Amino acid sequence: MLKALRVRWQRWVNRRIPRTDKQVFSQRNIFILPTGAGVVFGVLLLVMLITGINYQNSLIYLLTFLLGAIMVAAMHQTHRNLTGLELTLVKTGEGFAGDPLPFRFRAVSGKHDAVAISLCSNGHMLDQQHVPARQAADMSIALACQQRGYFRPDRIRVETRFPFGLLKAWSWVRPVSCAIVYPRPVPAPEAPSTVTDGDDQSSARSVEGNDHADMRPWREGDLSQRVLWKRYARTGQMVIADWEGEQGSPHWLDFHAFPGVDMELRLSYLTAQVLERGRSGAPFGLNLPGQVIEPDSGQAHVSRCLKSLAVFGVEKPRDDSSIPFGTRHTEKTPAFAVGESG
């Protein structure tokens, strides 16, 4: 019964407060109720009134009505704090799964000051913000998401309890825009790429005391773990060990280089590799099923690759969707997962 009532309440609120990146608060979408302190204050007023009636004491009447007037004035002031306030989502954040992602809002007050405004969602809070009348101020709240993909909070609560904390007026913002959550990076094991770039390096290879490995000169983009450091210390030449069967290009980060590994773990491996190549400045390309990003370098290239890894196999939430974080409920199994052997 309670679950059904909660679902009906949420549907009613969603109809009253549709998804939008720009929300203006008015009597239609502002709610107000007493706080715990307000309930106690109201009970005390009732007790005082009954006492005044019982003893016919004018001073008790005076104090009761005076405090009641203060309660009514506080109710109007609390409601007025939100009335006319306009919140616009300016920018959504990007980051790794589990890290706080900033959502930046531009707040513009109406003809009255917006006093002690708080934003909160899922335990994260931005508290006590003041916006003078007819002026603008930026507000930023950091929200966390544990899964990669598109992150769109279902609701961000906007609340005020000014002036006395006896009542709380609140509403919600239901953004349309999504943040991008990158996979959590996990150090990748050594694995050859299955992509070849057509470079013929066979003339530069030589076998030196090992029937299963070839030696070749170091090239820009090679991982530091593959350098034969003992040989470098002895001869001053940086060479790479190419084990038998490793014919892929070192310039490519390849999804298929980790056979038999779970898809999410593969994406975490690739994320760590993208970050490593980005720090070293080495050019690299990214090969995903159905998407190929050509080798390049620079921060813009790194950002593009991270976004591709974040949204791989994930559908973007629809504007009318009310599913919290709505990213992974409609995922389909990619074709590469069928019949792939370890």
> Residues 31, 174: one domain?
yes
Do the domain assignments include residue 280? Answer: yes
Paired strand residues for 86? 24, 108
> Residues 235, 283: one domain?
yes
> Residues 124, 207: one domain?
no
> Residues 176, 243: one domain?
no
pLDDT in tens, 41-61: 999 999 999 999 999 999 999
Residue 227 banded pLDDT, cuts 50, 70, 90: confident
CB 128 within 8 A of CB 118: yes
Question: Does residue 31 surpass a pLDDT of 90?
Answer: yes
Give the total residue count for the chain.
342
> Residues 142, 111: one domain?
yes
Do the domain assignments include residue 324? Answer: no
Do the domain assignments include residue 23? Answer: yes
Percent of the chain at pLDDT > 90 equals 61
Do the domain assignments include residue 195? Answer: no
Euclidean distance between CA atoms 313 and 332, whole angstroms: 7
What angle, rounded to 10 degrees, do the helices at 36-55 and 58-82 form? 160
Which of 70-79, 81-90, 167-176, 247-256 comes out lowest in average pLDDT? Answer: 247-256
> Residues 176, 208: one domain?
no
Q: Which residue carries 């994260």 as its tokens?
A: 124
> Residues 124, 271: one domain?
no
Domains identified in the chain, total number: 2
Do the domain assignments include residue 159? Answer: yes
Do the domain assignments include residue 340? Answer: no
Listed residue (139, 41, 137, 33) closest to 79, CA to CA: 33
Question: Does residue 80 surpass a pLDDT of 80?
Answer: yes
Do the domain assignments include residue 335? Answer: no
Predicted local distance difference test score (pLDDT) of residue 122: 85
* pLDDT (average), residues 4-9: 90
* pLDDT (average), residues 202-216: 44
Do the domain assignments include residue 9? Answer: no
> Residues 161, 278: one domain?
no
Euclidean distance between CA atoms 276 and 303, whole angstroms: 13
> Residues 166, 238: one domain?
no
> Residues 138, 278: one domain?
no
Q: Which residues contact 332 (CB under 8 A, 6 or more apart)?
A: 313
> Residues 229, 171: one domain?
no
Whether the model clears a pTM of 0.75, i.e. scores above it, the answer is no
Q: What would the 3-class secondary structure string for 80-132 be?
A: HHHCCCEEEEEEECEEECCCEEEEEEEEECCCCCEEEEEEEECCEEEEEEEEC
- Give the structural domain span for 247: 202-310
Question: Does residue 320 surpass a pLDDT of 90?
Answer: no
Predicted local distance difference test score (pLDDT) of residue 225: 59
